[in-house]
Chains A and B, each alone.
Chain A
Amino acid sequence: MIAKEKKVFARSPVLTPKITHYCPGCGHGVVHRLVAEAIEHYGIRERTICVAPVGCSVLIYKYIDVDMSEAAHGRAPAVATGIKRARPDLFVMTYQGDGDLAAIGTAEIIHAANRGENISVIFVNNAVYGMTGGQMAPTTILGQKTTTTPTGRSENEGPPIKVCEMLGTMDAPSYIARVTVDKPAAVRKAKQAIITAFGRQLDNKGFSLVEILSPCPTYWRLPPVKAVKRIEEWMVHTFPLGVYKDKEAANA
């Protein structure tokens, strides 16, 4: 007798069925899915506004089926602030890469966090500029070769910037965590962190940010499997995983 079929996995209805433009082995696809599942988890698709970044995920509006606004490079937290202040009843999030959030948009993310702005930020850190062709990012690791650090990042550029550590020192943010998506167990943890972050906004607890270490096989010049392994071998030493701020746990 054949066992009755059991559905164990399905595409979230918050994701569109479009095939993404992302390179093979890129982490954005997994992170998009987790964001969609977290929106589905809370049943908030019809009151979500996502602010898209400039960078590889500028086309996120094609893949996540919610209302979206554009922002100039780095300004997503300011645009999200405008939307959230105008419509506090809506769920407002940004989706940003490392160049967008940690270089050109440093002022916007620091001040949105410091105001305790009631928005949620998904920060995808792959240590390189992807869309423009593999230049040094603010989070490029010491020694990492990019088109603008051809012999590896050095003291010439200074060490990478650590966003969670920096924002974790502030009083206002509710939840700041760093996760990765290199293994199924890590993906599950990442989803939990995103759900926690979104929950903080829904409970009016203020600013939350989840940084996701994500592979970029194309500009790490590695095959996808090796790129994923590289996160554990190489990236987490500079960017340790963990929760950097949790006001609710502190209050408990």
Chain B
Amino acid sequence: MSGNDAVVEGAIRAGVDCYFGYPITPQNEIIAGMAARLLPLGRVFLQSESELAAISMVHGAAAAGKRAMTTSSSPGVSLMQEGISYLAGSRLPAVIVNIQRGGPGLGNIAPAQGDYFQATRGGGNGDYRTIVLAPDSAQEMLDFTFQAFDLADQYRSPVIVLSDGRLGQMMEPVELRDPPARKRVEKPWALTGAKGRDAFFVCSLRLPVPELAEHNRVLDKVFREIERREPRAEAYRTDDARLVFTAYGACARLCREAVDLLRDEGLKAGLLRPITLWPFPHKKLLASLKKAKTLVVTELSYGQMLEDVRLAVEGRVPIEFLGYAGGEAPSIKELVALGRKLLKKSNRKKASKGKRR
């Protein structure tokens, strides 16, 4: 099945109660799939009048204690930033899937990774973060969509699944399974009508300075806890790697193949693939660099994740960057050639150092 269809499957398996969305390419299989699957199950599906409305409908359903989600693609997700900020401020769990396309503006409908900053830096107004999961296969589109609901509920926070048009449209085998689930949490804060209790106000609004300051402290505590507990990354053949590629999503698949080809030539290459883009897996990245002389960052943008990598590495190893945008991507041949050149250069250095001694 396609990655987009896998998102639908993951959401259904996670028990999504309510889906609201607005058509945009290249995520239209998801909204159509949700309509086809949810309505016969008696769950809520509604096509909204805009992305602004879709995310606000998600807000309402989440405030009522339901598992709610929306999906969109880059320009649509930009419109949703208002609502995502309100969800974060109101501490409401929700899942947002972004099937990224080329930008800025209307850009095109080709795959891209230009929304990294928007996803990992909060995106909307105010001081907040959202957990960002980056799948690299149709299987992970299913698994991460499923897991996003658990994470959202546990931390009472919007969670973003950041994918792209290539993964969304690509067809590959998917095991229809329930990934490991967390314990379902109670939602005693949900709006149910003030029966036998004081009335609740689910809000981000806190006009007095001490109240908002305290709210920001509480949010920060949650973000720090997420940073401690939730970073995820896949380390592939990095144990003895002298050259480590770092890439996420579709780009990581290309790097993985390049690593195998370089290994076939006897060259020690590896891949560190961040799975959570926020929290960024700093420690896992550093651990993969024990033997590394060079780090190659490649992404479908002109250097967004690159900034997080630089912050993590702090100059310990030289970083080479390979960026593409507008729907272009590096070829495996190009990655192998770059890896070969860099590895041979570092070998030559080692050899010449030996001679001088």
Contacts and interface: CB of A to CB of B under 8 A. Distances in A.
Interface stretch (A3-11, A69-77, A135-143, A162-170): A69-77
Contact of A66 (B17, B61, B65, B194): B194
A73 B335 CA distance: 48
Nearest to B53: A78
A51 B56 CA distance: 11
Nearest to A84: B60
Interface residues of B, number: 40
A61 interface: yes
A84 B56 CA distance: 13
Contacts of A58: 205
Counting contact residues on chain A (CB < 8 A from B), the size range is 20 to 34
Choose among B18, B46, B194 the residue with the greatest number of A CB atoms under 10 Å from its CB.
B194
Contact of B195 (A47, A52, A78, A80): A47
A230 interface: no
Contacts of B82: 72, 75
B49 interface: yes
A79 B53 CA distance: 8
A86 B18 contact: yes
Interface string B188-229: 000111111001111111000000000000000000000000
Contact of B59 (A46, A61, A71): A71
A196 interface: no
B20 to A, nearest CB: 7
A90 B20 CA distance: 20
B50 interface: yes
B48 interface: yes
Contacts of B261: none
B248 to A, nearest CB: 30
A80 B58 CA distance: 10
Given A72-B86, A81-B60, A82-B68, A67 B53 contact: no
Interface string B52-76: 1110111111111110100000000
Contacts of A70: 86, 90, 201-205
A8 to B, nearest CB: 28
Interface string A80-116: 1111111100110000000000000001101100000
Interface string B10-47: 00000001101000000000000000000000001010
A166 B196 CA distance: 41
Given A45-B194, A82-B64, A90-B193, A75 B56 contact: yes
Choose among A65, A67, A68, A90 the residue with the greatest number of B CB atoms under 10 Å from its CB.
A67
A46 B191 CA distance: 11
B53 A61 contact: no
A72 B60 CA distance: 11
A80 B203 contact: no
A159 B192 CA distance: 41
B111 interface: no
Contacts of A66: 193-194, 199
Contacts of A121: none
Nearest to A75: B56
Choose among B195, B199, B200 the residue with the greatest number of A CB atoms under 10 Å from its CB.
B199
B60 A61 contact: no
A177 interface: no
Given A61-B199, A68-B202, A82-B56, A47 B193 contact: yes
Contacts of A87: 64, 66, 192
Given A69-B203, A86-B66, A79 B60 contact: yes
A149 interface: no
B83 interface: yes
Interface of A: 45-49, 51-52, 58, 61, 65-72, 75, 78-87, 90-91, 107-108, 110-111
Interface of B: 17-18, 20, 44, 46, 48-50, 52-54, 56-66, 68, 82-83, 86, 90, 191-196, 199-205
- Please name the 10 residue pairs, one residue from A and one from B, whose CB atoms are nearest each other, closest first: A82-B60, A78-B56, A47-B193, A82-B57, A70-B203, A75-B56, A46-B195, A111-B49, A79-B60, A78-B53
